[in-house]
A = this chain, B = another copy of it.
Amino acid sequence: MSSPLRLGIAGLGTVGAGVVKIISRKQELLAARAGRPIEVTAVSARSRDKDRGVDMSTYGWENDPVALARRDDVDVFVELMGGEDGPARNATEAALAAGKDVVTANKAMLAHHGQALAMAAEDAGRVIRFEAAVAGGIPVIKALTEGLAGNEITRVMGVMNGTCNYILTRMEAEGLGYNILFEEAGKLGYLEADPTLDVGGIDAAHKLALLASIAFGTKVDFDGVELEGIEQVTLEDIRHAADMGFRIKLLGVAQRSGRGLEQRMRPCLVPASSPLGQLEGGTNMVVIEGDQVGQVVLRGAGAGEGPTASAVLSDIMDIARGDRISTFGQPASGLVTPIRAQSAVAAPYYLRMELEDKPGALAKVATVLGDSGVSIDRMRQYGHESSSAPVLIVTHKAARNAVDAALEALPKTGVVLGTPVALRIEAV
C-alpha cells in the first residue's frame, strides 16, 4: 500500500468535526477504497478546547490556518472555515503556493474568486476540489465534471437551498405566511448568520454559478446571476399556482442563449407532478440536461454534518487515488468569459393582478399584454365580494423584457390595483 495521504483540516464546525470523525472511525474502509491510508496530520480552528464529539488531541494544532496550509507534513489542505475572503482565501492561496492540493466546501469563496484560485492551482500543478460546496451530499460536481463529460450540457438547474425549499413547502402545506416561517426557520437554526444568504437566494446563486462554469466552460460569473429571493413570495401565489397544477420553487437555471449564458436564481413555477415540483422540505435536487444523455436528476440532502462530510471525503478519496482533474473540468486558462444574456430565453409566465370591477377592465389588460408582445394562454378570474378581483393569467412563451414592459404598463390602465406579480414557469 502506498504512503498515507496527510490532511490539514481548517475549520472544525459541524462539517469539519464530521470529516475528522469519519476518518478516525473508518480507517480500514477508506484505505481499502483509496489504496492508501487517509490521515489527519493537524487541524486548526478558532477555539482549541471546544468539545467536538471526537478526540482532537492526537492531531497537531495550528492557531493560524495559513501556517496549517504550509506545513511540510500536509499533502491536502481541507478548507472548511467558510467566508468568501479572509482566513479561508488566505489559507487556500497559501496552500496552493506551498504545493498542496485543496478540498473546500466554500461556495462563496469559489463563486467570487474561483477563476483566480483555479489559475493559481494550475500554475502550482495542484487541484482544488469542491464537491461539498454544491448540494451537500449529492455528488453533482462529479456527475457534471466527469460522469457527463461526453455531453454538451444544454441546461442545468436546481433547488439548492434547503431552507428556502423548507419555507416554501411549509407555506403550501400549512397555509402559513412567509414571515412566520422565516422566524421559525431562524429558531430551528436553519438560517445562516446573515439570512439573506438563504432567503435572498445568494447561497443558491453561488452554487449555480459554479455549476454553470463547469457546464458551459465559462469563467465563474456570480455577478451575472439574475437574483431574486423568496421574500416576496406570497401564500396567495402559492395557492393559485397549486390550483393550476404548479409549485413555486426557488429554482436556479443556467443555460445557453445564442452565444450568451443565462443564469437565473428566482422563484418560479414548475409542474407539481415533476420531480422538482415534488421536492419537499430541505432536500436538494439538481437536474442536468445533456445533448446525449437527456435529463439526469439527482436528489439528496443538501446540508448537514453527514452529507457534507460525505462530499468532502469524496474529494479527499479522489486525490488519494491520484485523480488530477481541473477545478472546473477543463484548464482554467481555457475558460471563456461568458456573455451575459439575462432572461433571454422565452418562457410562459404566471401573472397575478388585482383588477377593478369595471366594464372593459379585462379588455384593457389583454390589450396591454398584446401590445407588449405577451399572449394569453389561459386566464382565471376569481369570484369576489369587494370592488376588485384577483385575475390569474398563464401566458404563452414570452421574453422577460416583454413581460417587464407589460408589468410597467398595466398600472397605467387605471384598472389594475397595486403591483402585478409575474413568475416564470420553467419547463422541467
Tell me the A residues contacting B by CB distance below 8 Å: 18, 22, 26, 29-30, 32-35, 131, 137-139, 142-143, 146-152, 217, 273, 275, 278, 290-301, 306-307, 309-314, 316-318, 321-326, 329-331, 334
Contacts and interface: CB of A to CB of B under 8 A. Distances in A.
Contacts of A131: 147
Query: Which of A293, A294, A316, A325 lies at the interface centre, i.e. has the most chain B CB atoms within 10 A of its CB?
Result: A293
Nearest to A297: B299
A365 to B, nearest CB: 37
B296 A150 contact: no
A307 B322 contact: no
Contacts of A307: 292-294
Given A146-B314, A322-B324, A296 B29 contact: no
Contacts of A330: 32-33, 35
B33 A149 contact: yes
A201 B199 CA distance: 46
Contact of A275 (B148, B275, B306): B275
B293 A306 contact: yes
Contacts of A309: 150, 292
B217 A32 contact: yes
B299 A149 contact: no
17 contacts: A29-B152, A32-B217, A32-B334, A131-B147, A137-B294, A137-B296, A138-B296, A143-B147, A148-B314, A150-B313, A275-B278, A292-B310, A293-B306, A297-B298, A297-B299, A297-B300, A321-B323
Contacts of A313: 149-151, 292
A298 B151 CA distance: 18
Given A139-B148, A146-B142, A147-B131, A300 B306 contact: no
Nearest to A317: B149
The 4 A-B residue pairs whose C-beta atoms are closest, nearest first, are A150-B313, A139-B147, A137-B293, A292-B306
B32 A149 contact: no
Contacts of A306: 291-294
A405 to B, nearest CB: 38
A293 B298 contact: no
A328 to B, nearest CB: 10
Query: Which of A152, A278, A317 lies at the interface centre, i.e. has the most chain B CB atoms within 10 A of its CB?
Result: A317
A22 B273 CA distance: 33
A296 to B, nearest CB: 4
